[in-house]
Amino acid sequence: MTTLFERVFVSVFGQTGRDFIDGLQRSSSSLSDFVYVKVFGLPFIVLGARQTGKTTLIEWMRHNLHELDSFAPEPTAPGGDSVPAFSARIGGEGMRLKPTRDVGGEYDMWETDWVELFRVAKPRGIIFLVDHTDVLAHKDALNFVMNMIDEEIEAKRNLKAFLVLVNKSDLWGGKLSADDLLHSYGNEVKRLKNQAARVGYQTWIVGGSVRDGVTDSGETLTASLRTFFNAIRPKPR
């Protein structure tokens, strides 16, 4: 969509004016991309029901996506913990990431900590974790997040991507596939895709293990995260 200024500028200067404006827009987009990716950090949030690995995922990213041998997560207390922006090497590129807070996944935290985090962070992306246990709790949590996106008009404005990570494939991978696990989530997946089309964000579902850093298809989890973070940067790649 062109502004009145652009139309006037192009009508006065013709093709040269158009090229100038296009160049200006490209430079501004590149500058914004640089500022987000290298300076302030890409705002994203990590949500999911309790015990799905949110704290471990954030810690793994903070450790530059290296294996977490000795990390022993604790249940995240009400209110969560602040996570300052940090740098990580995602698929060969150094990126500054800003998850804002690590929040717990208990039911009582959804209305309080999740909504508050969503409002404060105004994230460009959401990573939502589920695992092979307690399907009902994960479905409730996913539906809650989709409702929250619908209701929080201001906070969802920047949302560009929603990654569902079916975590802990090291525990379910031998017996099941991510598709088997997601069979029970038919309505939720359909709703997520509809919302993505309506709100204008991209969505993916990936099975994998944060502990091992791999997806259930044998690729590295880093590749999935690279796709996610490239989608939420101001100049998507």
Partner 1 sequence: MPTLTLDYVLEGRQRGYQFTSDTRGVAPDQLKLIWRNAIPRGSAWSDPAYRGARSLKCFTVDDAGAGSVAVCDVIGTDQVDEVGRTGIRRAVIQVMRYAEYQAFLRERLAAIPAAVIRDAERALYARNWDLLLKKHSNAVHSPLKPQTVFTDDYSPERWRFVEACLLLLVTRATVLTNLIEVTPKVNPFADRALSFTTLALDAREESRLVAIPAAKAAGLRGIPVVNLG
Binding site for partner 1 (CB under 8 A): 50-51, 72-75, 77-79, 81-82, 84, 104-109, 112-113, 116
d(CA 93, CA 88) in angstroms, rounded, equals 8
Please say which residue, 105 or 208, places its beta carbon nearer to partner 1. Answer: 105
**Minimum CB separation from partner 1 for residue 77, in Å?**
4
User: Within 10 Å of residue 138's Cβ, how many Cβ atoms?
Assistant: 25
In the bound state with partner 1, the residue whose beta carbon lies nearer, of 50 and 139, is 50
Minimum gap (Å) between residue 114 Cβ and partner 1:
12
**Minimum distance of partner 1 from residue 178's CB (angstroms):** 21
Q: Which amino acid is at 55?
A: T
Single-letter amino acid, residue 127: I
Distance in Å, CB of 46 to partner 1, minimum: 15
For partner 1, give the closer residue by CB, 1 or 39. Answer: 39
Minimum distance, C-beta of residue 112 to partner 1, in the bound complex (Å): 5
Choice between 58 and 149, CB closer to partner 1: 58
Q: Which is nearer to partner 1, 128 or 201 (CB)?
A: 128
* Contact criterion met (CB below 8 Å) for 204 and 164: yes
